[in-house]
Chain A
Amino acid sequence: MEGVPLYGYILLSALMFAIGTAGVIIKRNPIIIFMCIELMLNAANLSFLAFAKYHTAPLATTALEKWNVHMTGQMAVVFVMAVAAAEVAVGLGIIMAIFRMRHGVDIDEMSAMRG
């Protein structure tokens, strides 16, 4: 996609992030809140990749340094994906455990850890 400016990607990412934030605040179903968090993570991924593609690396001098600057954004995304996978496995496990214990999934009523 030639001719798309960098701020196009960043604005798209900001919109996704904002919608995710709003979802986390509005929703009461923990699974949907979880999905909104995934949405926010993906917004971050998008901006990482956009910067990885567009970064001009003014401080890098050698070719290897310049190359590494472009790789850094992609590496961040790889690790975000790994963390998201681990997070989903554990998070959904917790939600299932809570559901089994309490037979309800309203997040506003989950206050068992409050003294």
Chain B
Amino acid sequence: MSLGVVVFLVMAIVIVLSAWGVVVARNPVRSALSLVINFFTLALLYFGMHIDLLGISQILVYTGLIMMLFLFCILLLNLGAPDTLFEQSLFKRSVAWFIGGVLVLAVASQVIGPLAVADAGPSAPQGFGEAGSVGKALFTGWVYAFEIASVLLLVGIVGSILLAKRRD
């Protein structure tokens, strides 16, 4: 095993365990922290894949802002208190893990065979994840999608302000 594979395995284990932690943690704050670790490790994984800009965006957007909003809401609603909801339904839980397991098996059975045969290693050219190339692509081929996304964000802002506003 090369060093790259070892690093990947370590990161993968951290990612899976922290994702698991999101679901099994009793306390919502612990859940959220587990997700923060997950997103941060994903960003490191992106750095390892030489996708610098999106890795940094992952930290900036997900761990920096989105998870902070989640934690803020959890604390504001005081869901971190010990008397929060207990997840007791054993039946539901077993069904859920069954569905999850089937999902993984289905993907694995379809993916491993063909990809292992066709695998020729990474084909991306040098510097395809750099800020410059991503920015250029964003403002040439994908400029309409970019503008639509900005309108969507604007609508999101207006919507969340309307929702959060107290009507007396």
Instruction: Indicate whether B122 reaches chain A with its CB closer than 8 angstroms.
Output: yes
A71 contacts B16, CB within 8 Å?
no
Alpha-carbon separation in the docked complex, A79 to B39 (Å) = 17
Alpha-carbon separation in the docked complex, A95 to B32 (Å) = 16
A94 contacts B163, CB within 8 Å?
yes
A90 contacts B22, CB within 8 Å?
no
Alpha-carbon separation in the docked complex, A109 to B135 (Å) = 45
A20 contacts B19, CB within 8 Å?
yes
Interface residue range, chain A: 35 or more
Q: For A5, list chain B residues within 8 Å (CB).
A: 115-116, 119
Given A1-B5, A42-B42, A96-B76: A31 and B65 within 8 A (CB)? no
Report which B residues bind A (CB closer than 8 A).
1-2, 4-5, 7-8, 12, 15-16, 19-20, 22-23, 28, 31-32, 35, 38-39, 42, 45-46, 48-51, 54, 57-58, 61-62, 65-66, 69-70, 73-74, 76-77, 79, 84-85, 87, 92-93, 95-97, 99-101, 103-104, 107-108, 111-112, 115-116, 118-125, 128-129, 133-134, 137-138, 141-142, 145, 149-150, 152-153, 155-157, 159-160, 162-164
- Interface 0/1 of A76-115, CB less than 8 Å to B: 0111011111111110111111010000011000000000
B74 contacts A31, CB within 8 Å?
yes
The one of B12, B15, B124 in contact with A53, judged by C-beta atoms closer than 8 angstroms, is B124
Q: For A23, list chain B residues within 8 Å (CB).
A: 22-23, 96
B96 contacts A42, CB within 8 Å?
no
B137 contacts A75, CB within 8 Å?
yes
The one of B16, B66, B76 in contact with A85, judged by C-beta atoms closer than 8 angstroms, is B66
- Interface 0/1 of A13-56, CB less than 8 Å to B: 01111111111011111011011101100100110011011111
